[in-house]
Structure 1
């Protein structure tokens, strides 16, 4: 069977890398695992003896049929054949409901995302999970190296983006290992990385209105080379006047000639909360 490029299929063939994923996930019998991209079932099979339940999702029906032969012997594995994304901004309800139903079976169960994510859907899966009311205790995933570096990027560097701030404002993020293309079949044209993402409730609590924060943050970085004053006016979509923006920048001690990419995560959180409050006046 040949991998399908339209699904971003690159199968992990170095079994030592599976151990890195499993160690990073700190698996236990309390865990309900969501795996996106069952593939041949190698990681699924590796995790099954160590966890309570696995919900594994594969969009490719032919591939799922092959994996099913290998995984049928494990009663704690539930296989779903569908696209995990309803659209680019939302995960499919059926997947989240399946995870919830498995959590109800396990006292004090905890939800984790552990997967070799298809490159073409990695960003929306990781990002959108943080917007749901079913946030994982952790995510340990293999993704494109470029994406991993964007997630952990510090202020002021070229990789620092709305995604960096979104992830770091809600989570502790750490790259566990860089992976050469040789550990996959077929070899991708890019390098990969294993990243561990730990959502932190205390970080989430700092953000009063999460949908507003997420939407405005993305708009703020849409024209990242504009100066901060112009970025805020554009991002506010006419909810803020120029005098209001000038007052906010002066109060927070920011020059209007700064750019958003020069501000720390904490400064962005403070700035967007100030704009949210001002827009409600």
Structure 2
């Protein structure tokens, strides 16, 4: 491990194969070995765990996880890094490498990735799916949010992501970072920022701070959402213009399904005043409001 993730090692190995980090793939390698260890420790891996890693990189984090988990499925979109990591991971028979994009599109995972995970999960008794990754900034939000909608529900997710995104995930009502992402994640999970990281712990250095975030799925919370897809889409629609009054957002989102009088009635039932804003509503309140809307407009789709 000490040889595989230092700046000098990375520069040398990439130079040997004639490539440079690709900004389009968000390739910023974590070169502080203590922080790499912190990611693994935060995931609390054991032999029940099937790990999904998005962004294999050089395989250093992969190798550390393979020593603790039952299986690791690691996905790398870059062909050069895929070949480099393949050499580093030859000794591990519990690592499955996929050379592909983890996402089919911004709202769905790649079916190949899900099928592979399904096979590994089925082969491990009492298996648990965990996402553990140094996520490229450009896919962090869709990876974390979409995995909660997949057929294989994760037990937990530990990832390095842009600090701004991490702050949005844990944000509370009435704050500038509170958003649809905050609501979607907190409605199903217990979320915490483990560590904030300066650009200097990466190579190449990103232009912004990063954070390690730990997200643990809370089954009691998930079971309290009758229709997760409806809830997700409705929350996204009323946060499109978060500074506007809630009434205006709901009227705009439901214009083909509810008239203004119906919206006013629903708001009265929730004791919302005319100046209520979406950004001030707690997760539980938004879930209750969604169910009132769904009861009178069940066919609505974003």
TM-score range (shorter-chain normalised) is over 0.9
Give the CA deviation at 1:148. Answer: 0.1
- For each residue in 1:70-126, what CA deviation from the matched residue of structure 2 results, as whole angstroms up to 9, or x when unmatched? 001111001000000100100001101101101111111111000000000000000
Q: State the SS of the aligned residue for 1:50.
A: coil
1:191 has 2:233 as partner: no
- Counterpart for residue 271 of structure 2: 253
Structure 2 length normalisation: TM-score?
0.91
1:9 has 2:27 as partner: yes
Give the CA deviation at 1:246. Answer: 0.9
Gaps of 5+ in 1: none
Q: State the SS of the aligned residue for 2:123.
A: coil
Alpha carbons 1:216, 1:236 under 8 Å: kept: no
Give the CA deviation at 1:202. Answer: 1.1
Give the CA deviation at 1:58. Answer: 0.2
Give the CA deviation at 1:280. Answer: 4.0
- Counterpart for residue 139 of structure 1: 157
1:177 has 2:170 as partner: no
- Counterpart for residue 215 of structure 1: 233
Aligned length: 281
- Counterpart for residue 148 of structure 1: 166
- Counterpart for residue 35 of structure 1: 53
Alpha carbons 1:227, 1:256 under 8 Å: kept: yes
Alpha carbons 1:18, 1:46 under 8 Å: kept: no
1:92 has 2:91 as partner: no
1:65 has 2:76 as partner: no
Counterpart mapping for 1:86-125 below 5 A: 86-125=104-143
> Runs (4+) of structure 1 moved beyond 6 Å?
none
CA separation in 2, counterparts of 1:208 and 1:51? 33
1:278 has 2:296 as partner: yes
- For each residue in 1:254-279, what CA deviation from the matched residue of structure 2 results, as whole angstroms up to 9, or x when unmatched? 11211100111111111111111121
Give the CA deviation at 1:218. Answer: 0.7
1:21 equivalent among 39, 63, 88: 39
- For each residue in 1:156-213, what CA deviation from the matched residue of structure 2 results, as whole angstroms up to 9, or x when unmatched? 0100001000110111100001111111100100110000001112111111111111
Give the CA deviation at 1:133. Answer: 1.7
CA separation in 2, counterparts of 1:215 and 1:114? 26
CA separation in 1, counterparts of 2:81 and 2:298? 51
Alpha carbons 1:138, 1:199 under 8 Å: kept: yes
Structure 1 length normalisation: TM-score?
0.98
CA separation in 1, counterparts of 2:211 and 2:22? 21
- Counterpart for residue 10 of structure 2: none
Gaps of 5+ in 2: 1-13, 15-19
